């Protein structure tokens, strides 16, 4: 397709062209905002590597009842209501990679911003949360 054909198409289909431009801008904004958020989003496979290679501290922010039904092995449960960057599980881990986990990944993003403000350097959020972990057929541990 030549540039002239593209311009002709845009002239014949202005609504489609505007929709494409809007979607493109939204994707660019999302990517740029993610780069400057101060934390990385990781998938289940990346998290597995971080746990095995880097001794990452996994903090599960879900309610205790959900945590007990199933959580990532080695994860520490810190309730969002008591989430504090100076928490006894978190304060010693400023130099370690910290991975925040919640049900779907949204709550963890807010907690990651708080950790960044407290001076943590290597902050990660499990994208899609425990739902993504289960979707990747990775095991959960029951109990505390």
pLDDT tens for each residue of 47-64: 999 999 988 999 999 999
Verify that 31 and 49 share a domain, yes or no.
Answer: no
Residue 108 located in a structural domain: yes
* pTM, entire model: 0.73
pLDDT tens for each residue of 75-97: 999 887 777 777 676 677 777 89
Q: What is the pLDDT of residue 8?
A: 92
Quick one: CA torsion of 128, 130, 136, 142, rounded to 10 degrees? 180
Query: What is the DSSP secondary structure assignment for residue 93, as one 8-state letter?
Result: G
Verify that 63 and 122 share a domain, yes or no.
Answer: yes
Verify that 27 and 70 share a domain, yes or no.
Answer: no
Q: How far is CA 34 from the centre of its chain?
A: 10
Residue 77 located in a structural domain: yes
Residue 85 located in a structural domain: yes
Q: What's the total number of domains in the chain? A: 2
Verify that 97 and 116 share a domain, yes or no.
Answer: yes
Residue 144 located in a structural domain: no
pLDDT band at 34 (very low <50, low <70, confident <90, very high): low
The parent domain of residue 29 ranges over 3-35
Residue 95 located in a structural domain: yes
Do 126 and 100 touch, CB atoms closer than 8 A? Answer: yes
Residue 142 located in a structural domain: no
Verify that 31 and 54 share a domain, yes or no.
Answer: no
pLDDT tens for each residue of 97-119: 999 999 887 788 888 888 888 88
């Amino acid at each position: 397709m030549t540039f002239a054909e593209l311009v002709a198409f845009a002239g014949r289909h202005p609504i489609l062209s505007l929709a494409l431009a809007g979607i493109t801008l939204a994707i660019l904004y999302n990517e740029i905002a993610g780069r400057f958020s101060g934390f990385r989003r990781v998938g289940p496979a990346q998290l597995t590597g971080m746990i095995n290679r880097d001794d990452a501290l996994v903090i599960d922010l879900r309610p205790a009842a959900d945590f007990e039904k199933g959580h990532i092995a080695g994860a520490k449960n810190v309730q969002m209501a008591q989430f504090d960057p100076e928490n006894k599980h978190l304060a010693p881990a400023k130099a370690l990679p910290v991975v925040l986990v919640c049900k779907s990944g949204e709550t963890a993003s807010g907690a990651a911003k708080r950790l960044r403000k407290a001076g943590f350097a290597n902050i990660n959020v499990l994208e899609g949360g425990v739902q993504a972990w289960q979707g990747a057929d990775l095991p959960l541990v029951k109990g505390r």
